[in-house]
Structure 1
Amino acid sequence: MVKGKEYRAEWECPSNIALIKYWGKKPAQLPLNASLSFSLKKAKTKTRVSITPASRRKVSFMFEGQASAFTERIENYLANMSLEHDWLNDFSFKIESWNTFPHSAGIASSASAFGALALCLVDLKQQVNNRQFTQEQFFQKASRWARLGSGSACRSVFPAFAVWGHLNQIPGSTDCHAIPVKGRFHPDYYSLRDAVLLVDSNKKQVSSSQGHELMNTHTFKDARLAQVNSHLFELLTVMEKGEHARFFELLEKEALSLHALMMTSDPSFILLHPNSLNIIQRIRDFRKQSGLHFGFTIDAGPNIHLIYFEKDKEVIHQFVEHELLSFTEQGQWLDDGIGNGPIQLTDEGV
């Protein structure tokens, strides 16, 4: 560290959509089960972090030029991180962040936000200590640090597909951080797209964190863990072989299982809306009618993610515009696709 010097890092990190969901946590933000996701291409958070030496840690956070309620969460995150990384206590932080997608768009903004912040922090650690990590070390650390802010964020620091959680079938997989899944799947899956149908942009009645906690005492906890492990093992095989019909069957079972767990927790809660169900039924009807391979997934909210292949883009867009937009909030939807992971926006290389 050079006394009085300002250090700066700037990264862009995508959100991701889970194909196999994780639901439930162990201490230290570790998952009850392994999950599989793909990173998005357009839905990203850009974050710039500037730090200067200070007698104690101070944090200034601005989201799109405005003060944000997210500041407290950032402060708590850095305070928890500093217990293991005491160099964070020696700096004043100026953090600026922007999203390329609306905060209420039905896309997990905490995943991209903490992914981008973690990438900046690992970058800054290199600068402060005047040492370079290998590329593998850099992104492993970023994934681990992102996990401590938001579990799903650990998957966002990798391109295309990532697995988080120990899985015998994936060498190197661990609960501590995600790892990329490279060159394993049928080529078609690298053309996946995600049409996000915005059913309701209002804040959820029950947060994901509260939902995760309810899994600890859930009646169906053990059955869910057996189910999700079976789903993930089969999905990996299906994606290797290119069995598209079964791929979408598993995708939808995962999504509906997630919401069934919410409905049967104690206390129970329902995040799906009537129009969520209307969209699901229309998707199933049109799939049967058209014979195309596509389907849906749902995160912890009412919005529907219509997953399809690039080659069917024109037909799917017509279907969305003619059949589904009447069930969305003011006709709102976003179209995205599988992405290439984070990008460093400063001159220094990783």
Structure 2
Amino acid sequence: MDDKMMAEVCLPTTDLTGDLGFFSGVLGMRMLSIFPADDPAVAVFGGHGLRVRLERGQGAPGRLRILTDMPFADGADRLVSPGGTVVDVAGLTQIVQRPPTQHRFVVRRLADQAPWVIGRAGMQYRDLIPDRLGGSIIASHIRIPDGGPVPDTVHFHRVGFQLIFCYRGWVDVVYEDQGGLIRLSAGDCVIQPPEIRHRVLEASDGIEVIEIGVPAEHLTEIDHDLTLPTPDLRPDRRWQGQRFVHSRAQDAVWRASGWSGLVARDTGISDGTQGVAGVRVLRRGGGPTAPMRHDADIHFTFVMDGTCRLQAEGQDARDLSAGDAFVSPPGMAVCLAAPSDDLELLEVTLPGKVALTT
């Protein structure tokens, strides 16, 4: 920051005399200057990381936000100064609460050509759950057509759960207290515990990832002070009870999944999040498929390879192929009929431990 420059927010006031006491007393800011002395028309205050210039006269009322986790203004969440300035009071730690899940059966097919939109750092996003189940979850199919360095910065998310699954290609990422560069190749995944600092460095041509975030709307904040990688390796560190998990496809062990006709590779994410969420990769196993039910609050499935026919209770059958996704509500009977031998699915559940029944 250039110490030879500064910026002021200019606010009109219809009652400068009243605002002098309000800004110094109620808001706890310090008066820096006032003029002219015989009939003040301008006063400048500083405090809370802000410099405010009050100018006597008419105009649309200004608005400020005070962010604090300390008791303030007797708990009021909105104040109005004598001169008309509106002051909103909010928590310093901005956390978006996860709303209750609005359970629905949702199918999103790649062939339907839902639009790709440009998101953070130039990445392209496709929404896999358009209604986001009432705001409880967001599932994004993300791609970067041209490989190379990614224009990212060190940042973190105020989120309850976040998964990054590398679908195609590879991507290099660095994480706080997790050693040096981590390369995610196709089939690898990580969870990003709440507020862990990280940065995307470089990606291959045609990189595609699946990103899951809970809740759907959450804050992303830039950390301008931290440099990654950090010097310490702390694999057991926890952020809000969750530890960093890096699951590699090359280490896969396939076991019975509980789903008829499918086997599973467990990523260890249920243990890493202490049961907040579970992530598995499912493949075609032996034997026939049959209708199954689950008791998860959220059950999301993305088709990575192969084909199958989705038969859900009370719904028309749908043919699924790579790039398609669906969400089934708890208690609904679902069958993945006629699975191809190369069928491979990404399954995400909240909570992590789910009961399956026929």
TM-score (norm 1): 0.28
| CA radius of gyration, larger in | 2
Higher strand share: 2
- The higher relative CO (CA closer than 8 Å, separation ≥ 6) is in 1
Higher helix share: 1
